[in-house]
Structures are given as C-alpha cells and as structure tokens.
Amino acid sequence: MVHVITVNGKARRVDVDDDTPLLWALRDSLQLTGTKFGCGIAQCGACTVFLGGQPVRSCAIPISAVGKRAVTTIEGLSGPEAKAVQAAWVARDVPQCGYCQSGQVMSAVALLRQVKKPSDRDIDLAMNGNICRCATYDRIRAAIHDAARTLGG
Ligand code: FES
C-alpha cells in the first residue's frame, strides 16, 4: 500500500505494507541510511528519529502509525542545537565505531531543545535509551555540556 509521509520537510511516497517499521521505509525505500538498525525491539536507540519533533525508535513504529506527523532523520537535522551538537561531537572526537552515533546525536539534540543547561543527571536520563557498545558515554556527556555552553546554557 502506498503511504505518503513527510520526511525531512518533503512529502515522500513509500509502497510498503501497513505494519512495515518506519525504519525499513527510511532505509530501504528512501535510502536514508544514516539511521541505523540495531536491535529491532526499541532497546538500543540506534534507530532514533524525530516524529512530530519527539525522539522515537523508528524500528518499533509501523508506517501506518506515522500519519501527518513530520519525520526528521539525521540527514534532515538542522537548527542551532543540531549545529552545536555536531560541532561538539567533532571537537570531542566522540564516535568510536560510529554505529550508534546518529541515534546519540538525535537524542542529544532533543535534550538540548528541552533543557538549555542539562545536568549530568539530565543527560544520563535523556540518553539512557541510547546504547553504545564502544562505551563512548563519557565523551557524549562532555560533548553535550560543550554544546549547551555554545548555545548559551
Ligand atoms: Fe561504537 Fe557507539 S561508537 S557503538
């Protein structure tokens, strides 16, 4: 069945079954491969995208549940928080293997849009659902603090 969803500001047609996970549509139908498949059961955060501005696990959202809510992937991320996070990630050399990192960046941007000066606890709570098997957690936390400072928090 053809579904029309808004991804990174554009209406996109995707011809898949209703119960196809959003992640499959993004990666396989639209070739937006920055969003990663990790666990497939919404436990690792590698597939994090924004749906209606909120971070969600796209592996666990059927395409039929997207409706009119805008989807934003790492490829479409923009705005001051995104710029600050990306710059801090580069400056801190955060990624190791990199697999989890687009999900980490999405969650970090979502946090900084809500909380201008997050504490360590705020960061740990917000990033709790994003697993990094390379254990880059200390650099992630430091980079989020750096980005908050850049943003004036
Ligand atoms: Fe390798 Fe996070 S950088 S899983």
| Domain range enclosing 18 | 2-76
Whether 60 and 108 share a structural domain:
no
Residues 35 and 96 in one domain: no
134 CA → ligand 1 middle, Å: 4
CATH code, domain carrying 98:
1.10.150.120
Q: What is the pLDDT of residues 135-152, one digit of tens each?
A: 999 999 999 999 999 999
Q: Is 103 within 8 Å of 48 (Cβ atoms)?
A: yes
Same domain, 67 and 19: yes
Question: Of 76, 97, 115, which residue sits at a domain end?
Answer: 76
pLDDT digits (tens, 9 = 90+) for 64-116: 999 999 999 999 999 999 999 999 999 999 999 999 999 999 999 999 999 99
pLDDT above 70 covers what percent of the chain?
100
Read off the pLDDT band of 63 (50, 70, 90).
Answer: very high
pLDDT at residue 153, rounded to an integer: 78
CA nearest ligand 1 atom 2, residue? 132
- CB distance 38 to ligand 1 below 6 Å: no
| Rounded distance between C-alpha atoms, residue 54 and residue 123, angstroms | 16
- Residues 46, 95, single domain; the answer is no
pTM reported for the whole predicted model: 0.97
Q: Which of 10, 42, 76 is the last residue of a domain?
A: 76
Cα gap 150→153, rounded to integer Å? 7
Same domain, 94 and 145: yes
Residue 141 CA to ligand 1 center (angstroms) comes to 14
Same domain? 14 vs 69: yes
User: Is 97 a pocket residue for ligand 1 (Cβ < 6 Å)?
Assistant: yes
**Is there an atom of ligand 1 within 6 Å of 137 CB?**
no
Amino acid residing at 114: Q
Q: Which residue has the tokens 């501005």?
A: 53
Give the type of residue at 96: Q
37 lines ligand 1 (CB under 6 A): no
CB of 134 sitting under 6 A from ligand 1: yes
Q: Is there a single domain that holds both residue 106 and residue 126? A: yes
- Is residue 10 domain-shared with residue 65, that is, in the same domain? yes
Let me know whether 88 and 40 are in one domain. Answer: no
Q: Which atom of ligand 1 is nearest to the CA of 97?
A: 1
CATH number at residue 7: 3.10.20.30
